[in-house]
Amino acid sequence: MKAKIADRIATSVLYLIALFIVAILVGLLGYILASGVPHISWSFITSSPQTFTKGGGIGPQLFNSFYLLVLTMIISIPIALGAGIYMAEYAKKNWLTDLLRTAIEVLSSLPSIVVGLFGFLFFVLSMGWGFSILSGALALSVFNLPLMVRVVEDSLRGISPAQREAGLALGVSRWETIKSVMLPAALPGIITGIILASGRVFGEAAALIYTAGMSSPNLDFTNWNPFDVTSPLNPFRPAETLAVHIWKINGEGIMPDAAAVSSGASAVLILFILVFNFSARFIGKWIHRRMTMH
């Protein structure tokens, strides 16, 4: 009898803790969306920001965020796939692999501001790229790689050894087995991890303050030549992202409608991150269903 009462008390406490956490999350999201959604409009999303007058938007900052995200994923995904495949399929249990795993754990626990300072010292100053999209993308790649490597490694290790053994038993080479059997089976988990990492990159600010900069030059959105100074695709131009813009306007306090712009930008940022997270779940489940059907 006492055991049943203790079990019910423990279960109730756990439910209360879970409800408390959910209530905090819903309250936070609800407050941000309720404050910011009324300020969102097509003009707000597409127009340029204003410094000393009201009515500015977040168009360049939103574009910079997506462009930076694309560059970061182009850099990160191949490296993460290679490192994850090596750690899961080729690495032997020895001091070197233990050192690599320790390094990955240390990197994954680094504050983003530390990664930003490293990016400032190495990419901005030593490499001479200045405050630029390329510097920001490389710094975010360093910040994001530990998570993505672990996602790829865990997804491959989660595949039944029987599938690997079946491919090898048919006389297929090890690489062909990984490419044709293991990677397709691990694809749902890998894609889910990539999308979640994308949401993490999209909302990052601290690392970008020191690498991508806190300004965005006047851009000509009809000029898509990446080697032109005024082109939006120029990777060597400074690029203030949406998250950095929110921090900047709240820190400076010179914009007349700073509170409204900040609330609207925060709501847009939250909505896009929610889309990334829900997309990860939906796409992962959809791919898993398709693969189980075939």
The residues spanned by each domain of the chain are 40-293
**pLDDT score at 27:** 92
Distance, CA of 144 to CA of 203 (rounded, Å): 12
Under the phi-then-psi rule, with left for phi > 0, alpha for psi from -120 to 50, and beta for the rest, what region is 55? left
pLDDT in tens, 85-105: 888 888 788 888 888 888 888
Q: What's the pTM?
A: 0.85
- The per-residue pLDDT for 292 is 63
Instruction: Name the architecture of domain 40-293.
Output: Orthogonal Bundle (1.10)
pLDDT (0 to 100) of residue 19 = 94
- Angle at alpha carbon of residue 171, lines to 166 and 173, rounded to 5°: 95
Q: Give the separation between CA 40 and CA 225, rounded to whole angstroms.
A: 31
Q: Is the dihedral of CA 207, 213, 214, 220 positive or negative?
A: negative
> Mean pLDDT, 10 residues at a time, over the chain (294 residues)?
79 92 92 89 86 81 91 92 87 80 81 90 91 92 88 85 73 78 83 83 88 83 80 88 88 79 90 83 74 62
Mutual angle of helices 2-36 and 258-293, in 10-degree steps: 120
**Residues 216/61, Cβ–Cβ less than 8 Å:** yes
For residue 276, give the nearest of 202, 186, 188 by alpha carbon. Answer: 202
- What pLDDT score was predicted for residue 291? 65
Distance CA 180, CA 225 (A): 38
User: Which residue type occupies 93?
Assistant: K
Q: What value does the mean pLDDT of the chain take?
A: 85
- Predicted local confidence at residue 216, as pLDDT: 80
Q: What is the pLDDT of residues 266-290, one digit of tens each?
A: 999 998 888 887 887 787 777 767 7
pLDDT computed for residue 137 by the predictor: 93
The amino acid occupying position 291 is M
Distances (CA, A) of 167 to 172, 174, 175, 183, 286: 6, 8, 10, 12, 25
Alpha-carbon distance of 132 to 238, in angstroms, equals: 4
d(CA 179, CA 185): 10
The closest of 221, 147, 161, 229 to 189, measured between CA atoms, is 147
Number of H helices, E strands in the chain: 12, 0
Half-sphere exposure of 145 (CA within 13 A, CB side): 23
